[in-house]
Chain A
Amino acid sequence: DAKTTQPPSMDCAEGRAANLPCNHSTISGNEYVYWYRQIHSQGPQYIIHGLKNNETNEMASLIITEDRKSSTLILPHATLRDTAVYYCIVRVAANAGKSTFGDGTTLTVKP
């Protein structure tokens, strides 16, 4: 898995968009960008993944730069329940489930 760099913590006001950055400058051509989150004392929850195009689902949007060296996860309207540790992981699709978790970003959504 390519190495990723994320800020250790971020705050966001409830109802505002939360933009979580991730740097992955050594990403390979066949590696996807995955995002998970872990709410305290629970297992990680899959959020979204993408290869090079921007992706959107019911939970979030993923913006990947054209050179693929960085990405941003966007939670469009953060709620208190979005407070969690967010992990950005870069890996090939065939390694689904076998992930190298870094320290992630602790997002705190404040009222």
Chain B
Amino acid sequence: GAVVSQHPSRVICKSGTSVKIECRSLDFQATTMFWYRQFPKKSLMLMATSNEGSKATYEQGVEKDKFLINHASLTLSTLTVTSAHPEDSSFYICSARAQQGHTEAFFGQGTRLTVV
């Protein structure tokens, strides 16, 4: 299957700082990328849909000013957690859908964010 890479895989930051997570499609162009978060022992929850060249669409209850999403190219989307607090500690996962011909999307390996 296609490869989606997230960076970093693990990050620890201080409360009040911002953290940027990158999601890259390595061998295909992704017009749409999706960001999920997952709390311990819980399922994935969709946060937002990121379309290349346009504003992201956020799910209900997700603060757009808190979780800034940029999809500047067909291979890169970034999620920035601004003014992070301990409650933002979570596992963040992206997925990417190919431009055409695919009925499938592929997931990154996830980023473990710990805010101290």
List A residues at the B interface (Cβ < 8 Å): 32, 34, 36, 38, 41-46, 49, 87, 93, 96-104
Given known pairs A101-B43, A103-B43, the reply for A96 and B108 (CB within 8 Å) is no
**In the assembled complex, B75 has its CB within 8 A of some CB on chain A:** no
Given known pairs A96-B97, A99-B46, the reply for A49 and B91 (CB within 8 Å) is no
Q: Looking at chain B's contact residues, is the secondary structure mostly helix, strand, loop, or mixed?
A: strand
Given known pairs A44-B93, A46-B1, the reply for A32 and B34 (CB within 8 Å) is no
| Total chain B interface residues with beta-carbon distance under 8 A | 28
Query: In the bound complex, do residue B44 and residue A44 qualify as a contact, i.e. CB atoms below 8 Å apart?
Result: yes
Query: In the bound complex, do residue B96 and residue A97 qualify as a contact, i.e. CB atoms below 8 Å apart?
Result: yes
- State the Cβ distance, A20 to closest chain B Cβ, in Å: 16
Query: In the bound complex, do residue B46 and residue A41 qualify as a contact, i.e. CB atoms below 8 Å apart?
Result: no
Q: Which of A36, A42, A98 contacts B110 (CB 8 A)?
A: A42
Query: In the bound complex, do residue B107 and residue A43 qualify as a contact, i.e. CB atoms below 8 Å apart?
Result: yes
* A-B CB contacts (within 8 Å), total count: 60
Query: In the bound complex, do residue A43 and residue B103 qualify as a contact, i.e. CB atoms below 8 Å apart?
Result: no
20 extra interface residue pairs, beta carbon distance < 8 Å, beyond A34-B104, A41-B112, A101-B44? A32-B103, A36-B107, A42-B110, A43-B4, A43-B6, A43-B94, A43-B95, A43-B109, A43-B110, A44-B107, A46-B104, A46-B106, A87-B43, A93-B103, A96-B102, A97-B96, A97-B105, A99-B46, A101-B43, A102-B43
A-B pairs with beta carbons under 8 Å apart, 13 shown:
A41-B91, A43-B4, A43-B94, A43-B95, A43-B110, A46-B104, A46-B107, A96-B102, A96-B103, A97-B32, A100-B46, A101-B44, A102-B43
Query: In the bound complex, do residue A97 and residue B43 qualify as a contact, i.e. CB atoms below 8 Å apart?
Result: no
Question: Per-residue 0/1 for B29-48: is the Cβ within 8 Å of any A Cβ (1 yes, 0 no)?
Answer: 00011101000000111100
Residues of A within 8 A of B44 (CB): 38, 44, 99, 101
- State the Cβ distance, B48 to closest chain A Cβ, in Å: 10
**In the assembled complex, B49 has its CB within 8 A of some CB on chain A:** yes
Residues of B within 8 A of A43 (CB): 4, 6, 93-95, 107-110
Q: Bound complex: CA of A97 vs CA of B102, how far in Å?
A: 11
Q: Which of B49, B109, B112 contacts A98 (CB 8 A)?
A: B49
